[in-house]
Structure formats: C-alpha cells, structure tokens
Amino acid sequence: MPRYNAPFEIHVHGDVPLRADVSFDQIQEALRPLWKYAGAKSLADGATSAYEEEPGIRFDQKEHMLTMCWTVPGDEDFRQELDEMCMALNELAEQGAAIEITFYDTDYDEEEGDSDEESRDDFVMLFVGPNPAAIMQVQRDLLVEDVVALMERHFDGSELGGVVGEIDKLFGDRFDALVSSLEIGKRPRGSGGAPGAGGHGGGRRPRHLH
C-alpha cells in the first residue's frame, strides 16, 4: 500500500541491456520487489514514478533495454528488496550495468534546516550482469571515469595512461582470484582511451531525467 509521510523519497536509476529472448513477464517478475513495494498489483500498474517528469520504468522491446528513472516514497526497508531485484536481473541481463539508488531525506530542508542537523541522504551503486566478468567490466569503467575526471583537473588526459593501466591491473588481479573450474567470461579490459568526465560530486545528488 502507498506509504504516506515516508522518511525518504527513493530514486532508482539505470539502464540494463537485456537478452533478446527476455519476455515482459520475466521482467515483471524480476522487478516484483519494486512494484510490490510501491503497492501496485503489476509492473504496468507500478511503473509510474512518484514524479510526473520522470519516465518511470520502461522496457524498449526493440532495443532490449530496461530503463529505470523511478521514484517511490519509502523507508530503510527498501534496501531489503534490492538484493532480490539484482539477483533476478542477473538472470536476464545481456551485459553488465550499474543501477543507482538514492535515498532523499524528506524531512531535511537544505536551506531552512538547522545548521546542526544532518541530512540522512544516502547513495548506493549496485551492479548486475550475466556473469562476474561483465559486472567487473562495468565497475572498472565507472572507476576509470571517476578517477580520470578527478585527475584531469591537474593533468592532461594523455598523461593518465599509467593510472588507467594500474586500475586495469587491479581488476585483472581480482578477476584472476575469482577464476575457478567454471568459465565466467573474459577478464575486464581497457576501452581504448580515457572516458569523459563523470565523477560524483558532493552534496545532494541531482535527480536524473531522460
């Protein structure tokens, strides 16, 4: 049922590439933790965000892409739904993807709040993918993006190849530690150049709009 006077507005944001054979029913089941939490009886009923300007939860069948830009009022118990959702999406994902979860403190007013009062805002980055290698690849790419964006304040991008190489080595070592008798994919690799800026700044994170 809808949560009134909830302490948080919880924003879920991410694009997850899905396998071509994935059906709407499979997506609906995978996202059951989200739409059930919103008090809906189906994904179609629960896909609408609490904010009209946000597209909510959408599935592009032609592109096989699940897009989430969706806000729901809630509490800390929402975190319990995330593991179940991620495990289900792992089974449907074609590639690795990142999903951002932001908890906005509804009781905190940045302008009018007491200077001694601290916001309970929180930010969680989750990763899904068909195998550990695909998940590590996304983690690697985001870390490189953040590090390069930070260091480009002081160095030219062409000078950062060694830094990127060390990040690749760290992820390669982590992957090798996971390798067993099972085939789990190709180890994370560089994308052939420094990515654009994408670091996470301080303060309250802005809402994502498509």
pLDDT tens-digit readout, 45-68: 999 999 999 999 999 999 999 999
What's the pTM?
0.77
Residue 187 has pLDDT above 90, yes or no: no
Sequence-separated contacts (24+) of 57-62 with Cβ below 8 Å: 57/31, 59/18, 59/24, 59/27, 61/24
Per-residue pLDDT at 47:
97
Q: Which two tokens stand for residue 120?
A: 């309970």
Asked if 10 contacts 68 with a C-beta cutoff of 8 angstroms, the reply is: no
Domains of the chain, CATH where assigned: 8-130 (3.30.70), 131-201 (no CATH)
Question: Smallest Cα–Cα separation from 99: which of 111, 87, 113?
Answer: 87
Residue 145 has pLDDT above 80, yes or no: yes
Residue 92 has pLDDT above 60, yes or no: yes
State the alpha helices, DSSP H only, in 23-127.
24-30, 32-37, 43-46, 79-90
Q: Which two tokens stand for residue 10?
A: 């919880």
Q: What is the C-alpha to C-alpha distance for residues 142 and 146, in angstroms, rounded to an integer?
A: 6
Q: For residues 30, 31, 32 and 35, what is the CA-based torsion angle, rounded to 10 degrees? A: -170
Handedness of CA 117, 125, 61, 84 (dihedral sign): negative
